[in-house]
Structure 1
Amino acid sequence: MKFKQPWLYALTTLLSLSAQAQSDERSGTVEIRAKAENLMGTASASSEGLVSAGRIAALPILRPGEVLEMVPGLIVTQHAGDGKANQYFLRGFNLDHGTDFATTVNGVPVNMPTHAHGQGYTDLNFLIPELVEQIAYKKGPYSASEGDFSAAGAARIDYLQRMQGHLADITGGAHGYRRILLAGSPQSLNGQVLYGLEIFRNDGPWVVPENYQKYNGVLSYSDGTRTNGFNITGMVYKSRWTSTDQIPLRAVNQGSLDRFGSLDPSTGGETHRYSLSSQWTQTTLDRQAKAKVWALQSALDLWSNFEYCMSSIQATGNCAASDQFKQAEQRKALGFGFSEARYNALNWGQNTYDTAMTWGLDGRTDRISPIGLYKTTQRKLTDTVREDRVIQNSIALWTQHETRWTSQFRSIVGARADFYQFDVQSNIAVNSGHAKDRQLSPKLNLIYTPQSNFEVYANYGTGFHSNDARGTTITVDPTDKTTAVTKVDPLVKAIGSELGFRTELVPGWHSSLALWKLNMASELLFIGDAGTTEPSAPSKRYGLEWNNFYALSSTSSLDFDVAWAHARFVNAQGPSSYIPGAVSATANIGLSVDNMGPWFGSIRFRYFGPRPLTEDGGIKSGATSLMNLRAGYKLSPQSKLSIDVYNLLNQKANDIEYAYASQLAQEASPVMDRHIHPIEPRMLRVTLTHRFQ
């Protein structure tokens, strides 16, 4: 039997359609956009998907990280200043700032292990949405190519290799919002060049102006295509801001604090991120090889105050010092990846089966020196809680074998082996030390295609997230240095399974359904705000997701997804089994139109369901419903004017809610209360876009 190499054809077809979708998006062709996102015959799970540039371009985006809300079921919020990483929610997880959801941009990991603020910290403020070509996402621990932080899911964001000509965007809006973007591809005899330069400033609706300033740039050179070629990309990002953190609801209700006010006007941050990366791909008739290398240098200084006066009153009897603290780090990281796929035919008895054998090697090293937690007052250092120097190394070997047993049935069997080393040198000698761990993660995916427009999936796999290196060697609480604390497991295992289907029974309507389950050996343990560890129980989650994209016509499309999840601690008794922040229901609905004469636009509705805020479930957050609108007019073939309206219905709701004890200056003792960060009121932004050669 002659080998037909279906995976190679499917892969190249998918990539070419994706590129075509980007090109056709410029003329608003929704039909091609839908075809590019149809993964029938190539996906390994119903929860796997692809978001094209056309859909991203139609979004009214408040913050860059919100492009990830095109991953069905994923909610992106903010609980502090906009320069800080977003807060993410998916599949019954409060992912904090990125734990358990792995994100890469142009092959460079965004999640930061052993981060000063939060494990897996995912700051996407450097992202330029206009340059995104596609987002390829997966959910669950079923893919051997995905490692740390991917238990709930993963997203790979790719930039364009080239634009048609040049693009200039000028945006102005309420509360001092200003943004200038210049991007494009100059003519080049050899290869393809892409550049982007963004200058940004915003005060926001806050009583204390945010004064968020951002400078952002990208420059890349590509030769060949994504399937046969290479690229080199450099990125530079720097920002600073004043933060209005979450505030106690009691102060708002009493009238002593404005809903958009602050109890500490000196909180905020400064950060930068510089990266250089290269990716290479070679494809032949029976082989595809990929390689990447990357280097990153980043730093963060973050001043926060969530309890206001509680610790300072307990220590001194007054609030002169407040409870402000600083988390800071300086990081250098290097990484690489290599994979090879071999397409062949397996002879077994009288039968011959088409196969794809893939293996890969990934490595990463992080040098974080120093990484610290400090007590501060109005950003002035008053005491060092802990300061460490960390070296963290990891390497992984993975493989998967895909076999097409019949024209209707195929399987993907894989495994991943990860090895980690941690070296911590602390200013508290007894908290220094070395640790290491390893994790073997088997994977199994079964795919049945009874007809060309219907596919059924069964998936099983194990995955993990790493814990903060400081938690793997800690022995005493860094605050009092007399209280013993428990070390964390370096790697926390996750076990997931899923049943689902994908269909296109109605032409142009792509629909998928997934019933999933995920067990975690423990929730995240290291508490960066305190510099210590906290006991945590194993957890279990299960849920249902229904995702849809419908090309209504060549000029309009409708997408909608709904998700429900149940999340509990497994060894807790009675009413203490709720997982704080675990969202149970989400929905996202969007309608986009283009090429309706000179008019174009989109409207999106997002529902963020209630969450338990305490382990007994006694305090729950409210639900948040948000609607955003984009309307635009093409002034000429080269120019267009668009208006974005955020929070169209001017809802008075919250981006985030927490429940914990805090103490104000005038209070005699701590008070258990809700702490909120409100969504911005209705805001309008106007953008003038011009394209030129």
Structure 2
Amino acid sequence: MKKFIIIAFTCFLATAAFSQSAIQGRVIDKNSQEPLELAYVRWSNTKQGVVTNKQGYFTLNTTTAETDAALIITFIGFATKEVKAAGNSPIVVEMEKGPISLQEVVITPQSTAASFHTISKIDLNLQPVRSAQDILRTVPGLFIGQHQGGGKAEQIFLRGFDIDHGTDINVTVDGLPVNMVSHAHGQGYADLHFLIPELTGNVDYGKGPYYTQYGNLGTAGYVSMNTVNSLDKSTVKLEGGQFNTMRALAMIDLLSKRQKQKGTNAYVASEFLYSDGPFESPQHFKRFNLFGKFNTQLNNSNKLTLIASTLNSNWDASGQIPERAVKSGQIDRFGYIDNTEGGYTNRTNASAQLTSYLSPNTTWENQAFYSNYNFNLHSNFTFFLNDPVNGDQIRQREGRNIAGYHSKLSHESTLGSWNLQSLYGAGFRLDQTRNTELSHTIDRNTVLDYNQLGNIRETNAFAYADQSIEKNRWRFNVGARFDHFNFHYNDKLSNDQLPDQQKVIVSPKLNVQYTLNTKTQLYVKTGKGFHSNDARVVVFNRGYDILPAAYGADLGVLLKPTRNLLVNVAAWYLYLQQEFVYVGDEGVVEPSGKTRRIGIDVSARYQFNNWLFADANVNLAKPRSVEEPKGENYIPLAPTFTSTGGLNWQLKNGLNGSLRYRYMHDRAANEDKSVIAKGYTVTDLSLNYTKKKYEVGLAIENLFNVKWNETQFDTESRLKDEPDPVSEIHFTPGTPFFARMKLAVFF
């Protein structure tokens, strides 16, 4: 590794004009020898500085005033490092994990180009994460809800969207797409359960359609997660709690410290979870995960990363229950009308990424990935509405292969006094399903009728270019993305095979930021995005409404009014050419017309002292249908007011934990707001005692045992022997007071 650093610097000096008034260096993680991107480097006698690039390199100008000054290097989650620079020789700075300090967060044109990344790093280091879903909750304003047995992908809410299971949010892990296009249960279905939460290294996110790297489904925003490249220590963890809940986790570092110093890391991790849940009919929810990651420095300029993982999960469920059945005493809140719901899913992933360091300012990343996926879900939304004798249970099933490739080139340069950052990318994604099915069943065994059965092939080829130009206080970002789609559907229930449909869309982006000083920065973001329709709908409709566009704008400010307070405020607007609503029992994605959303997002992070932190997020939205008359233009289940926040503490004696809340306001459940989905406030508590060799902890969900509904729908249904159908709220009850203990051993 040291040889690689020396050679890289030699190349740097040979290809760039080395100024006697600048010092150059590289910042890396001491433990893993991995480069640290976005570390902040400044002189000790000034607040202005620079950030490191993808390879951890930086160039910092010097003046006579800095002759005797030291370098100060800060990075969220690492101890601040002070280095005395000797002459003009390049330096290597090794950072060690350390306490969080908001005092070291400085607003500059460079560092706040990724301001959300800074907030995310703070949250991920402080907030307890018990599941992959908790990782999604670190995105300010993002809510999730589970409504079938724990094994199904969660319902997602963000920026005035009921995103269903992923229709309007682009989700990736290690560059691997999580969303399933043209899925048997809903467009963009994003099942994140294959991610072991303790392996999460960072969470990058952005709201709105302003980011060239994230195409399809990225209308409300994107969430990009990456697993750690190396383990600080091996871990075995056991957890147990109410409702017959148990979890076992093992994360094993496979290589020696000497091999890590040479730039090679490898580890495996495995997770098993079982829970019956709080329901009268036990869920019997079982999930098994196995994950492995290997990365090594092939030579002086190439790094290889290999990832493999597999998920297997199955569960029973009680589904959504009607309010009238609970009010009449027919069932309890945790009872059931049909307890034969449930399903299974498995997913196996493989990824290979080659990162080439062409120079200290140029990085070329090439990634190929593959996923094999199987899904089987039984649901009953309407009970006996359509079939008074056998009931309305449906089965949604598919097998799927996903293959893709993504090439990305990033380069930094100068043009006169302007700093340039260029990003170019291209790739493709191929989804092929077999026997995508919607059928009418009894007791999960007998098929009465097939409503849909066929094979889907959907291809998305893309290319994008992104250019950032920075000078003094100004930073301009302009980009464009090109996407080509081909949709094919082989309908096995019909002799008529419809032709493939194709569509191209171009999505421009323009973002501007202005940094007033080290305490204030203003920004404007604008862009066009899109979400694709289900391939079955596209082919049947002969290409109508294939890629409806989304147009958005943000006007925001990033503030650091005091040393210990960081605030982000943004007013935003989003217009969709076509809203999509999934109709589960009909197996279609239903167009709902043009929509418009406006809102305000506020996020604040505050540090009281060296061990106590507070955070709060407030999100307001006004989602409306454009084409409907006033009073009948509400978007069902779209959130209008949400808030999350809490206190987090990390004492030097090993005591740490958090007290957190999440709040969702009442919202319309139908178009005229005559039916209301009730809001809720839920509080969670986490307490841990962490030492070098072990950790014990207690986690309590719903500390005050409030009655709340996790997911709610205005559904027409009929119970057994009811003469007429009834349309009302059907809900999945939220988890009551739920405590579980954990013991972890580190070695």
TM over 0.5: yes
1:217-257 per-residue CA deviation (whole Å, 9 max, x = no partner) reads 10010124999733111011001000121100000000001
**Is 1:288 paired with 2:363?**
yes
**Is 1:688 paired with 2:731?**
no
Shift in Å, 1:336: 1.1
1:580-627 per-residue CA deviation (whole Å, 9 max, x = no partner) reads 011001111121111252321111010012221001111111111000
1:547-579 per-residue CA deviation (whole Å, 9 max, x = no partner) reads 111232222211111100000000111322000
Larger Rg: 2
Quickly say closer, same or farther: Cα 1:99–1:78, change in 2 above 3 A. same
Paired residue total: 668
Shift in Å, 1:46: 6.3
Q: Which amino acid aligns with 2:554?
A: E
Shift in Å, 1:530: 0.7
Tell me the equivalent position of 1:482: none
Equivalent runs, 1:438-517 vs 2, <5 Å: 438-474=504-540, 488-517=544-573
Shift in Å, 1:487: 6.2
Q: 2: CA distance between counterparts of 1:22 and 1:518?
A: 40
Q: 2: CA distance between counterparts of 1:90 and 1:312?
A: 36
Q: Which amino acid aligns with 1:335?
A: G
Tell me the equivalent position of 1:67: 135
Pick one of 599, 620, 628 that aligns with 1:564. 620
**Is 1:400 paired with 2:453?**
no
Tell me the equivalent position of 1:218: 291
Q: 2: CA distance between counterparts of 1:22 and 1:527?
A: 53
TM-score, structure 1 as length reference: 0.91
Q: 1: CA distance between counterparts of 2:123 and 2:588?
A: 45
Shift in Å, 1:523: 0.7
Q: 2: CA distance between counterparts of 1:487 and 1:679?
A: 40
Q: 1: CA distance between counterparts of 2:451 and 2:205?
A: 39
**Is 1:344 paired with 2:413?**
yes
Pick one of 322, 325, 329 that aligns with 1:251. 325
Tell me the equivalent position of 2:271: 198
Of residues 596-605 and 281-290 in structure 1, the stretch that sits farther from structure 2 once superposed is: 281-290
Q: 1: CA distance between counterparts of 2:244 and 2:354?
A: 42
Quickly say closer, same or farther: Cα 1:274–1:337, change in 2 above 3 A. same
Shift in Å, 1:49: 5.3
What SS class does the counterpart of residue 561 from structure 2 fall into? Answer: coil
Tell me the equivalent position of 1:434: 500
Shift in Å, 1:534: 2.9
Q: Is this contact kept in 2: 1:329–1:371, CA < 8 A? A: yes
Quickly say closer, same or farther: Cα 1:637–1:38, change in 2 above 3 A. farther
Pick one of 393, 412, 415 that aligns with 1:324. 393
TM-score, structure 2 as length reference: 0.85
Q: Which amino acid aligns with 1:9?
A: T
What SS class does the counterpart of residue 534 from structure 1 fall into? Answer: strand
Equivalent runs, 1:89-488 vs 2, <5 Å: 89-188=157-256, 189=259, 191-224=264-297, 229-283=303-357, 284-313=359-388, 319=389, 321-347=390-416, 352-380=417-445, 381-404=447-470, 406-427=471-492, 428-430=494-496, 432-474=498-540, 488=544
Quickly say closer, same or farther: Cα 1:7–1:467, change in 2 above 3 A. farther
Q: Is this contact kept in 2: 1:21–1:54, CA < 8 A? A: no
Of residues 271-280 and 169-178 in structure 1, the stretch that sits farther from structure 2 once superposed is: 271-280
Percent identity over the alignment is 28
Q: Is this contact kept in 1: 2:478–2:511, CA < 8 A? A: yes
Quickly say closer, same or farther: Cα 1:118–1:25, change in 2 above 3 A. farther
Tell me the equivalent position of 2:682: 626
Q: 2: CA distance between counterparts of 1:489 and 1:149?
A: 14
Q: Is this contact kept in 1: 2:381–2:585, CA < 8 A? A: no
1:103-151 per-residue CA deviation (whole Å, 9 max, x = no partner) reads 1111101000000001000111122111111101111111111101111
Shift in Å, 1:661: 0.9
Shift in Å, 1:28: 6.6
Quickly say closer, same or farther: Cα 1:370–1:431, change in 2 above 3 A. same
What SS class does the counterpart of residue 251 from structure 1 fall into? Answer: helix
Tell me the equivalent position of 1:55: 124
Q: 1: CA distance between counterparts of 2:229 and 2:740?
A: 29
**Is 1:530 paired with 2:586?**
yes
Quickly say closer, same or farther: Cα 1:528–1:383, change in 2 above 3 A. same
Q: Which amino acid aligns with 1:378?
A: D
1:295-346 per-residue CA deviation (whole Å, 9 max, x = no partner) reads 0000100000010000002xxxxx3x11000000100000111111222222
**Is 1:655 paired with 2:729?**
no
Q: 1: CA distance between counterparts of 2:606 and 2:685?
A: 19
What SS class does the counterpart of residue 67 from structure 1 fall into? Answer: helix
What SS class does the counterpart of residue 395 from structure 2 fall into? Answer: strand
Please report the RMSD computed on the Cα atoms of aligned residues, expressed in angstroms. Answer: 2.7
Q: 1: CA distance between counterparts of 2:656 and 2:565?
A: 21
Q: Which amino acid aligns with 1:117?
A: H
Structure 1: segments with no counterpart, 5+ residues: 314-318, 476-485
Tell me the equivalent position of 2:40: none
Q: 1: CA distance between counterparts of 2:538 and 2:170?
A: 21
Q: 1: CA distance between counterparts of 2:414 and 2:80?
A: 35
What SS class does the counterpart of residue 651 from structure 2 fall into? Answer: strand
Of residues 23-32 and 582-591 in structure 1, the stretch that sits farther from structure 2 once superposed is: 23-32
Q: Is this contact kept in 2: 1:150–1:464, CA < 8 A? A: yes
Tell me the equivalent position of 2:62: none
What SS class does the counterpart of residue 585 from structure 2 fall into? Answer: coil
1:23-44 per-residue CA deviation (whole Å, 9 max, x = no partner) reads 9999771227x85898863444
Q: Which amino acid aligns with 1:333?
A: I
Q: 2: CA distance between counterparts of 1:257 and 1:637?
A: 49
What SS class does the counterpart of residue 117 from structure 1 fall into? Answer: coil
Q: 2: CA distance between counterparts of 1:499 and 1:450?
A: 15
Q: 2: CA distance between counterparts of 1:181 and 1:162?
A: 17
Shift in Å, 1:53: 8.0
1:172-195 per-residue CA deviation (whole Å, 9 max, x = no partner) reads 000110100000312243610121
Pick one of 688, 693, 698 that aligns with 1:638. 693
Quickly say closer, same or farther: Cα 1:389–1:280, change in 2 above 3 A. same
What SS class does the counterpart of residue 252 from structure 1 fall into? Answer: helix
Q: Is this contact kept in 2: 1:37–1:52, CA < 8 A? A: no
Q: Is this contact kept in 2: 1:488–1:526, CA < 8 A? A: no
Quickly say closer, same or farther: Cα 1:322–1:673, change in 2 above 3 A. same
Q: 2: CA distance between counterparts of 1:7 and 1:99?
A: 38
**Is 1:84 paired with 2:152?**
yes
Tell me the equivalent position of 2:75: 17
Shift in Å, 1:258: 1.2
Q: Is this contact kept in 1: 2:76–2:100, CA < 8 A? A: no
Q: 2: CA distance between counterparts of 1:645 and 1:236?
A: 29
Q: Is this contact kept in 1: 2:320–2:730, CA < 8 A? A: yes
Structure 2: segments with no counterpart, 5+ residues: 1-16, 25-48, 59-72, 82-93
